[in-house]
């Protein structure tokens, strides 16, 4: 336990203690040591008393919420940098999906915290939801452009359904790649080796097929409507 004198000697003034704590926490995440992360450990690393940490984060959930907000901001910036070229909505959706995959490969620890961990619903806030939903809102707009491009009428439910299908199936593909869980099935079922998703080009092929199939299903909706 730090004394008051030790707390007063710490190098961070009140205005940036919170940022210092988040910065130290990020080091644990990057080292894949999130389970070892605690408020008391952060206090020691930053050089403040444990009680001072609670002025900024009442518990670990509050800390993780702040970390997720930081990571979503970084993730959104990554998307902005990666998704600038495509003008056709289908190409733009594929660009988004590939950016999601690339992020998972380039920043695996951050990806794990963002998309493979959950926080209690009561910790959500309008600000947190806004920053967390930027990418899926962008995807929804692109799916709507597909509907408009092929002059297919749609309800909000159908629009969101297609958006969620793209996102959830994409996450499934990326998870299969990251965990390697599909390799055993491919080996013992004698499936084509490309389905093991070992190589980038195989993952990208499957993601492209996924986007193609989604757009085709929207086009099929146009055909079905015109024949009823």
Helical ranges in 83-199 per DSSP H: 89-106, 108-115, 126-132, 134-149, 156-179, 181-188
Question: CATH class for domain 1-58?
Answer: mainly alpha
Helices (H) and strands (E) counted in the chain, each on its own, are: 12, 0
Exposure letters 110-146 (e unless 16+ CB within 10 A, then b): bbebbbeeeeeeeeeeeebeebbebbeebbbebbbeb
Exposure letters 72-95 (e unless 16+ CB within 10 A, then b): beebbebbeeebeeeeebbebbbb
Q: How confident is the model at residue 224 (pLDDT cuts 50, 70, 90)?
A: low
Q: Give the residue extent of every domain in the chain.
A: 1-58, 68-226
pLDDT score for 128: 87
97-122 pLDDT, tens digit each: 999 999 999 999 999 988 866 767 77
122-141 pLDDT, tens digit each: 777 888 889 999 999 999 99
Evaluate whether the domain defined by 68-226 bears CATH number 3.40.50.1970: no
pLDDT score for 84: 85
Q: Between helices 200-226 and 134-149, what is the axis angle to 10°?
A: 50
- Residue 168 and residue 135: Cα distance in Å, rounded? 13
pLDDT score for 10: 46
Q: Which residue has the tokens 């969620």?
A: 164
- Please return the burial class of 215, using the count of CB atoms within 10 Å of its CB with bins 0-12, 13-18 and 19+: buried
Residue 227 has pLDDT above 80, yes or no: no
């Amino acid at each position: 336990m730090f004394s008051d004198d030790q707390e007063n000697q710490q190098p961070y003034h009140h205005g940036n203690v919170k940022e210092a704590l988040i910065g130290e926490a990020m080091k644990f995440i990057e080292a894949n040591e999130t389970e070892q992360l605690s408020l008391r450990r952060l206090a020691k690393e930053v050089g403040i008393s444990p009680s001072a940490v609670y002025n900024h984060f009442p518990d670990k959930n509050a800390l993780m919420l702040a970390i997720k907000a930081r990571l979503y901001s970084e993730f959104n910036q990554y998307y902005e940098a990666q998704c600038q070229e495509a003008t056709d909505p289908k190409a733009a959706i594929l660009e988004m999906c590939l950016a999601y995959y690339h992020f998972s490969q380039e920043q695996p620890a951050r990806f794990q915290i963002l998309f493979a961990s959950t926080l209690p619903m009561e910790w959500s806030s309008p600000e947190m939801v806004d920053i967390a939903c930027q990418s899926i809102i962008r995807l929804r707009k692109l799916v709507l452009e597909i509907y408009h491009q092929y002059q297919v009428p749609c309800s909000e439910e159908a629009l969101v359904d297609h958006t969620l299908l793209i996102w959830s199936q994409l996450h499934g593909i990326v998870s299969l790649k990251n965990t390697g869980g599909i390799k055993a099935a491919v080996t013992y079922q004698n499936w084509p080796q490309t389905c093991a998703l070992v190589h980038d080009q195989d993952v990208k092929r499957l993601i492209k097929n996924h986007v193609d199939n989604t757009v085709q299903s929207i086009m099929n909706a146009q055909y079905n409507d015109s024949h009823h």
